[in-house]
Homo-oligomer: A and B are copies of this chain.
Amino acid sequence: MSFQVVRDEVKRRIESRVWPQGSVLPTETQLAQEFDCARATVNRALRELAEQGFVERKRKSGTRVKMAPSKQARLEIAPPRHTVEAQNAAYRYALVERKVVTSPAWLASQLDVSPETRILHVLCMHYANNHPFQLEERWINIDVVPDVEQADLTQTSPHEWLLKAAPFTEAEVAFFATAADGRLAEFLATTRGIPVMQTERTTRLNGRPVTFARMTHHPGYRIRTSY
C-alpha cells in the first residue's frame, strides 16, 4: 500500500471527525497493522500530514490531530490614543462639544430608553501627527453613569474616561462604509462624498444601556487584525 493511500485515509478520518481535533492518533505500529503496510509507510504519511498542518507530532506523546486555528478574528476596540501611539504617531485630542440633552427619538430606540432620559452628548476629535484620525460622537446615559455629568472631558476622551469609570457587561459593534457628508468631510479635512468607515458601538451594564458611540475613521483607514 502506498503512503498516499494511508495519508488520504488519515486525512479523511480527521476531516470527518472520526479522529476529532486534539485527539491522539493510534501509534505508527498500530496503523501499520491496520493498513497492512510497513511502519515507514505510515511514518511518511504522517510526516506529510504534519507538514500540511493536519497533525502535530511529538516525540513523547505521539501524533495528535491539530487544533484548527481559530476561524475568528479578534478586534480590539481601543481608544484612538492607543492605536495612534502604536503607530509611533503623535496623538492629540480635542473636545468639540459637550451638552446634556434629552434622548432624541432615534437614540431612545437604539438604546431602548425613554425619550426623557438625560443623555450627555459629546463630540470630539482624535488626531495623529495633527491629521484627523477619528471623529467620535458619543451619547452617554446619565442615569447609568451619573459621574459623567461632572467629568472633565477636555483632556480625556469620553472613550478613555468610560473605560476607567464605567464598567459594561455586553457590547454590540457594527462596521460599515458610508459617504462623508459635509459635516464629516469638514471634521476629517476631506471631500464630501468620500467613502469612510464608521464603527458603531453600544455597551450595556447588566442590560442597562451605558453608551452609544459612532466613530468615523479618516479616509483610507484600515481596521487590521491577525489571528
Contact = CB atoms under 8 A, between A and B. Distances in A.
Interface of A: 15, 51-54, 66, 68-69, 71-78, 164, 167-179, 193-197, 205-206, 219-227
A158 B73 CA distance: 20
Contacts of A179: 194-195
Nearest to A221: B176
A197 B177 contact: yes
Given A71-B77, A73-B75, A74-B74, A174 B222 contact: yes
Contacts of A173: 73, 224-227
A3 to B, nearest CB: 16
A227 B73 CA distance: 13
Nearest to A164: B15
A223 B54 contact: no
Given A53-B169, A53-B206, A222 B176 contact: yes
A113 to B, nearest CB: 18
B52 A167 contact: yes
